[in-house]
Structures are given as structure tokens and as C-alpha cells.
Amino acid sequence: MSSYNAPFEIHVHGDVTLRAEVSYAQLQDALKPLWKYAGAKSLADGAQSAYEEEPGIKFDAQKHELTLCWTVPGDEDFRQSLDEMCMSLNELAEQGAAIEVTFYDAEFDEDEEAPEAETRDDFVMLFVGPTPAAIMQVQRDLLVEDVVNLMERHFDGAELGGVVAEIDKLFSQRFDALVNSLEIGRPPRGSGGPGSAGHGGGRRPRHLH
């Protein structure tokens, strides 16, 4: 697709801590859905953002950290590229991380549009991590932060322990439901053969008390 007629400017933003042994070649392969969508032939070629002031896609090998602050012109089909990228990054991530994606309506001009016209702007929050528990931990932490920030306008932070405990309870229930669903597909103990160990759900997300 030509960047001149792309209906959206899509901004991808986030930081992902990678496993220490992850190589540049592995990262390039995991991020292929992004740089290929941008029409590049390699990660180095496609790492630059559409805006010069943005750092683009950066890999700090010493800190084992991937930094995304990258904009590309595109359409709704970019969501498929994001799904593929997240699946690949799950294999490389050391811990859970959130990636924010904003679709800016490139065809909407606030000054020229009719008052009743609505922009097609959209915002998506994606999560990656080595285990379901790691991903849930990030989701839980973000929700607690949002709820506490909102409620601190009316209550002292020390009064919100019960609210945080209820959020933890909800995520514990979700985690237990996930583990139970995986247990259903697990072969009986002692049945032997490949996969007899089943699919572990990982550790339960940490709770703040």
C-alpha cells in the first residue's frame, strides 16, 4: 500500500525486556511482521519511524531491552501483523510487557469536517510475556494503577487496600479458570507418551496486600 493513500498513521509504543540469550537475528525474525509491513527488507532497514523525532525500533543488547516508538502508515490489516509479532515476542520475552498501539485517522481534518463527523481514531493495548501468568501480572498492575489514580481524587491511598484486594481476587479467579481449562486437556497422570506432563499455567500472579 502506498503511504500516500493509507487511511491511518499507526504508532506502536512499548518496552519489552528480552531473555539474555536472545540474538539480533531472533529479534529481527520476531519483528518481521512490522518491518515487512513497512516495505523494508530487514529490521535495520525498517527500524526508522515515519517521524524523524521518534527513536523507532531500538534493541539494547546490553540491557536486553526492545524499545518501540515507531509510526507507520497503514490500514486495518496491520492488526494481523501485530498479532503475529506478539506471538513471536512471547517466545523471546523475559517478563510481561504492554505495547500500546494507536491508529490515527489520517483522513480526518478537525478544521474541515462537519461538527457531527467522527474520527476513526482507535487505541489498542497488547500484552506479551513468557507465560499467561506474566501477562496477567502486567494487566493487573496497569488496572490497579488506573483505578488507584482515579480513586485518589476522592480517597486517600491508604483507604484503597480493599479495592486492590478485590482486583487481585478477580485476577486470581481468571488465572484459576485458565489453569483449569488447561488441566482439562492434560492426559491422566502416568499415561506416558509425549505431552503427558500437560500444559502448566505457570505461577500465579503476585498479589499486593
pLDDT tens, position by position, 61-88: 999 999 999 999 999 999 999 999 999 9
- Report percent pLDDT > 90 for the chain: 61
pLDDT tens, position by position, 7-52: 999 999 999 999 999 999 999 999 999 999 999 999 999 999 999 9
Domain spans of the chain? Answer: 8-130, 131-209
Stronger pLDDT, 151 or 195, i.e. the higher one: 151
**Beta-strand pair 122-128/97-105:** antiparallel
pLDDT, position 115: 57
- In this prediction the pTM is 0.77
Cα→Cα distances 9→44, 49, 97, 105, Å? 21, 11, 23, 7
With beta carbons less than 8 A apart as the criterion, state whether 86 and 31 touch. no
Stronger pLDDT, 120 or 18, i.e. the higher one: 18
**Domain 8-130 falls under CATH 1.10.3470:** no
